[in-house]
Amino acid sequence: MDTNDDDASKLNSETEQKREAKRIADEKRRKAARSASKEERLAMVNSFVFVRHSMVEAGLEALQAMYLFERGVRANAAAIIASSGVGKSQLLEGFKRDILDLTKDDGAAASDVVIVEPSWDGQPIHLLNEIAEALRLSLRSDASRMLNDIVDYVRTAKVAAIALEDLHDLFNMELKTNSKTRWDRDIKQCLKLLRVLMNRTLVPFIFTTLPSGMRDIIVDPQFNDRVQCKIYLSDWIHSDAEIIVFLNELEQELPLQKPSNLSEKPIRKWLVQNAKNTRVITQNIRDSTREAILDGSERITLALLKRLYPTAPTTPEAGRAAAKRRQSKTVDSGSPS
């Protein structure tokens, strides 16, 4: 057998062992969550944000392959492309969590996926400083020195990948309406800077963007060529079987002490009819979980969902606004008179 085949087989075996260890650890974590105090479980409600389903799994596998086989070998990038509210940021968080689990060794620091939320104002020095801030480096006013600091740090530290959110905002900045020439120049400078960072660090770069962002990066063909991995997330899980898997996975993360059977038809049908995408479903379930803990019922029922959402919100923003109103009432009712 070829040496490369032996190495690949060993890597796959080690990866499977780590995934099995993670599954066991997740089950222990979930069991501990369900037996925690009421206050502790309420604090946990906002922490479950990442739920696996087929669309997400395919994206994770692509990102992990890029990390395992191309990091340190060549400059490469991935783009997570989807409409707002579909789960681009959640996929990033899931990848970050998986890399931490896959790379941690006894007594050794695990590799990290550094997530940056740039302002995308078209100024390369601002972009450099925002990346440096995410890496917890000292900021500089000199772009060349800042670039060297970032490259030196990434080469020596355990940085698995660098992710930059909302690339489409670079193409929508206000400079576009003020000066087309300046807009083109600033965009090309930022994209060139990112190419230089990819070339010199040789760590994967990951971008999240709306579909419009992928259309716009043709202004820099060299940058576009580096985005070899393109992960498209559709607005909805189209298969009923996949929705059932999604709801079962979601329920496993709930710190509730009784089963809710979210995937059974009455609740599943209501969620599908009243949610725009999986993010809204997650928000609905998050709100319902909090309410079930507070009222002591410890399970989500169709009646509870209908009570919380008599007119079901159709956007994540509407869901969050409704949740804030309910939280405000809870605080007011619990305050001393």
pLDDT 10s digits, 14-45: 667 766 777 787 788 889 889 999 999 998 88
For strands 112-116 and 205-209, give the pairing.
Answer: unpaired
Question: Does 335 score more than 80 pLDDT?
Answer: no
pLDDT, tens digit (0-9, with 9 covering 90-100), for 50-106: 666 667 778 888 888 888 777 777 778 999 998 887 778 888 888 888 888 777 764
Same domain, 198 and 251: no
In the predicted model, is pLDDT for residue 173 greater than 70? no
- Claim to verify: residue 181 and residue 278 sit in the same structural domain: no
Domain termination site, one of 232, 252, 280: 232
Please, which residues have CB within 8 angstroms of residue 278's CB and are 6 or more apart in sequence? 51, 53, 86, 87, 236, 237, 246
pLDDT range class, residue 294, cuts 50, 70, 90:
very high
Q: Work out the average pLDDT over 290-303.
A: 95
Residue 149 near residue 140 (C-beta atoms within 8 A): yes
The side-by-side arrangement of strands in the sheet containing 77-81 is 112-116, 159-164, 205-209, 77-81, 227-232
Give a yes or no: residue 197 inside a domain.
Answer: yes
The mean-pLDDT minimum among 90-104, 241-255, 271-285, 308-322 falls in 308-322
Calpha distance 223→216 (Å, rounded): 11
Residue 311 belongs to a domain: yes
φ and ψ at 167, to 5 degrees? -55, -30
- β-bridge mates for residue 113, sequence order: 161
Give me the chain's average pLDDT, please.
81
Confidence of residue 117 (pLDDT cuts 50, 70, 90): very high
Total count of domains within the chain: 2
215 pLDDT tier (thresholds 50, 70, 90): confident
The pLDDT-based confidence of 264 (bands split at 50, 70, 90) is very high
Residue that finishes a domain, picked among 232, 250, 284:
232
| Position 66 in a domain | yes
pLDDT, position 293: 95
Would you state the pLDDT for residue 240? 81
CB 260 within 8 A of CB 299: yes
Domain that holds residue 312: 238-326
Is residue 276 a part of any domain in this protein?
yes
Q: Is 288 within a domain?
A: yes
Tell whether 24 is covered by a domain: no
> Is 33 within a domain?
no
Q: Is 151 helix (H, G, I), strand (E, B) or coil?
A: helix
Q: Do 311 and 177 share a structural domain?
A: no
202 and 275, same structural domain?
no
**Residue 286, pLDDT above cutoff 80:** yes
DSSP-based three-state secondary structure for 109: coil
The residue among 232, 258, 287 that closes a domain is: 232
Q: Are 265 and 287 members of one domain?
A: yes
Banded model confidence at residue 218, pLDDT cuts 50, 70, 90: confident
Please check whether residues 149 and 182 belong to one and the same domain. Answer: yes
108 & 185 share domain = yes
154: domain CATH number is 3.40.50.300
Q: How far is Cα 256 from Cα 268, in angstroms, rounded to an integer?
A: 18
Asked if 158 and 250 sit in the same domain, the reply is no
What is the Cα–Cα distance from 103 to 110, expressed in whole angstroms?
A: 5
Q: Is the pLDDT of residue 333 over 60?
A: no
Q: What is the pLDDT at residue 71?
A: 74
In the chain, the amino acid numbered 133 is E
The per-residue pLDDT for 44 is 87
Question: Do you know the residue count of the chain?
Answer: 337
Match 């075996």 to its residue by tokens: 13
Mean pLDDT of 3-9: 59
In this structure, what token pair is assigned to residue 139?
A: 């900021």
**Which has the higher per-residue pLDDT, 219 or 330?**
219
